[in-house]
Amino acid sequence: MSSLTSALPPAEGMGPRVARWGLYLILLLFAAYYLLPLVVMVSTSFKSLDEIRTGSLLSLPRDISTDAWTYAWTRACIGADCRGMAPYFMNSLVIVVPAVIISTLFGALNGYALTKWRFRGANVIFAMILFGSFLPSQVMLLPMAQTLGFLGLAGSAAGLILVHVVYGLAFTTLFFRNYYVSIPDDLVKAATIDGAGFFQIFTKIMVPLSLPIMVVTIIWQFTQIWNDFLFGASFAAGGAQPVTVALNNLVNTTTGVKQYNVDMAAAMIAGLPTLVVYALAGKYFIRGLTAGSVKG
Amino acid sequence: MTVPSSSYKATAAPIAADTDAPARASLGELAQRHLSKLVVAPSFAAILVFVYGFILWTVYISFTNSRMLPSYDLVGAEAYEKLWRIDRWYVAIENLLIFGGLFIGVSLAIGIVLAVLLDQRIRGEGVLRTIYLYPMALSFIVTGTAWKWILNPTIGIQEFVRDLGFPNFTFDWIVQQDTAVYTLVIAAVWQSSGFVMALFLAALRGVDQEIIKAAYLDGASLPRIYWGIVLPSVRPVFMSAFVILAHLAVKSYDLVVALTGGGPGYASDLPATFMYEMTFRRNQISIGSASAMMMLATVVAIIVPYLYSELKGGKRV
């Protein structure tokens, strides 16, 4: 991946030099624009309320105080429940971990079956699985709420796990299918001749080869499900709500003095897991993004 | 994003040919082939019910008189007639047009400019790219909390600039009926333009270096090379980016909830928030379902021609 302009000789002289400074200036200004909300969030979360009142939007905290973080984590009121963000953070974990594992597993099996053991209509089935993910979730919300009710899963973490697994299948299947397509069929054929069966080939040959796409899929699913708000807001009740819904309730509570530092700390708490994953494995996230960007 | 059409071709390959040959299909192979179907079956069944079945269910509900609870008495297109008599729905549609148009236009413009600028052998390109793209990793409910604060006139940018010594500076779009929708654009562009940049940057890196060298030796200037050769050759990316952004615009929900809550009043409602409000808060389930069908129709109108051209184009190559 070389830069386009590397085909051209390097620029010389004063004019291009000035242009280059301008170029960097523009790029840095954009960087500032993208960073602004994060900077405001982080710096405000470490300020005391007094300092917020006297200081300005962009000023950095004079005395770094972690009070807002502790308060947001343990004591902030989400509705009438004043246990802080901690239990809701745990709710999200309880939903995200099984949902990611199950949907990734199914995606890998589907991708394998659809590429290496092709059957008549495999393409149509894949197209139908994929097409569903383009459609707005709003057309499925009400029936989903009803169905969860019939199944006795309304308002529970299990219900949300089910929802996220089903609506994640399109992407996990897409990722693995497109990855397995590039693995030579001869590998599978040779193993079949040696007498290996469907699942044996999957666990012995395909899975060991799948590490990169597995990372992409897990990161993608983790980010999507952790950040979900619509399903959480529609299907989870009270104490079972995920962290995004709790955050929204916290921020929109209008009683009492508005504690902006607590709001910002709570937002950071809700955003930190995906932010950390992005910082550590951004490359894989971006790969998933370009492959699965259609999901809103 | 979609299935690269080339991979469709690649798969129609050896294994399929083998298993289709009846003479060689032993009993074991037969079992294996069915095993493959059995493995896909649960996922496919789930999608069939939870996506396509649910859509039909919503279609049905939209033709009933359901209010607080779903009822199953068909009453014709009443809900649709009511929907199109509700002022709030027109506000939501108009906002979607304003928001969608600006969001797509500005995101494309910023994304392309950033991609071209980053393509100039920039030092620290990796760091800049990481910064431009991180908004996509965060929920809008999270970043919306910060945006709400920044846009709030009494504590955000307006106050900040006034403190700098411009007491008449005004930036209160978020609390004004007719400008609140533009604050959605600011925040949505912030979230998605880095992603558009990434799409275009990847495409720019795929352009044939030799053509560019030749154009340069012919005396073409850098801007002319980009405008005349490079951008036209990444045309397919415009299409993909447009479809992705349009589709995001129609689905936008978190954004509105976090930033304006649809307010002031319902001035910054979008169809997605309208649907939620009608279905879950106002006991107008049939109208909510009708509005969901409108959203579905819009998305299908964007997606289907695109997918069709992608697949058709793929076969030609």
Residue from the list A123, A135, A278 with its beta carbon closest to the beta carbon of B137: A278
- pTM score: 0.86
Rounded to whole angstroms, the Cα distance separating A130 from A133 reads 6
Amino acid at residue number B107: S
Look at phi and psi of residue B234 and say left if phi exceeds 0, alpha if psi is from -120 to 50, else beta. alpha
∠ Cα B20 B43 B57 (to 5°): 120
Two tokens, residue B52: 């396509």
Same domain, B236 and B167: yes
Q: Reduce the DSSP state of residue A155 to 3 states and report it.
A: strand
Same domain, B125 and B269: yes
How many Cα atoms occupy the beta-carbon half-sphere of A15 within 13 Å? 1
Specify the CATH class of A86-292 in words: mainly alpha
pLDDT value, residue A30: 93
Question: Best residue in B139, B195, B205 to probe A by mutation, most A CBs within 10 Å?
Answer: B139
Same domain, B310 and B172: yes
Range of the domain at B146: 80-316
Instruction: Tell me which chain B residues have a C-beta less than 8 angstroms from the C-beta of A92.
Output: none
Rounded to whole angstroms, the Cα distance separating B256 from B272 reads 9
Same domain, B124 and B255: yes
pLDDT value, residue A68: 86
Q: What is the CA radius of gyration of chain B?
A: 25
Q: What are the residue boundaries of the structural domains of chain A, listed by start?
A: 12-65, 86-292
Same domain, B303 and B229: yes
DSSP letter for each residue of B286-310: HHHHHHHHHHHHHHHHHHHHHHHHH
Interface of A with B in 264-283 (CB under 8 A): 264, 266-268, 270-271, 274-275, 277-279, 282
Give me the interface pTM, i.e. the ipTM: 0.84
Same domain, B147 and B20: no
| CATH number, domain with residue B111 | 1.10.3720.10
Same domain, B186 and B311: yes
Whether residues B247 and A116 touch (CB distance < 8 A) is answered with: no
Same domain, B170 and B51: no
- Domain annotation covers residue B75: no
Question: How far apart are the CA of B178 and the nearest CA of chain A, in angstroms?
Answer: 22
Rounded to whole angstroms, the Cα distance separating A228 from B138 reads 10
- Domain annotation covers residue B125: yes
Q: What is the DSSP letter of A183?
A: S
**Chain A nearest-CA residue for B158:** A57
Same domain, B156 and B42: no
- Domain annotation covers residue B300: yes
Same domain, B21 and B91: no
- Domain annotation covers residue B276: yes
pLDDT value, residue A6: 59
Interchain CB contact of B283 with A (< 8 Å): no
Interchain CB contact of A216 with B (< 8 Å): no
Same domain, B87 and B15: no
Flag residues of chain B having pLDDT under 50. Answer: 1-23, 315-317
- For B128, counting Cβ atoms within 10 Å of its Cβ (0-12 exposed, 13-18 middle, 19+ buried), the class is buried
**Dihedral of the CA atoms A112, A117, A121, A124 (nearest 10)?**
20
**Chain A nearest-CA residue for B140:** A227
- Domain annotation covers residue B67: no
List the pLDDT tens digit at each of the 296 positions of chain A.
455 565 565 555 556 778 888 889 999 999 999 999 999 899 888 988 888 877 777 778 888 888 889 888 988 888 777 888 889 999 999 999 999 999 999 999 999 999 888 888 888 898 888 888 888 888 999 999 999 999 988 888 999 999 999 999 998 998 899 889 888 888 888 888 888 888 888 998 899 999 889 998 999 899 999 999 999 998 888 788 999 999 998 888 766 677 888 889 999 999 999 999 998 888 888 777 776 544 33
User: How many domains is chain B built from?
Assistant: 2
Whether residues A178 and B7 touch (CB distance < 8 A) is answered with: yes
Handedness of CA B152, B244, A278, A110 (dihedral sign): positive
Cis-peptide, bond into residue A208, ω within 30° of zero? no
Rounded to whole angstroms, the Cα distance separating A117 from B76 reads 46
Whether residues B121 and A5 touch (CB distance < 8 A) is answered with: yes
According to DSSP H, which parts of chain B are helical?
5-11, 14-20, 27-47, 54-62, 78-83, 87-118, 125-133, 140-151, 157-163, 180-204, 209-217, 222-225, 231-233, 235-251, 254-259, 271-276, 285-316
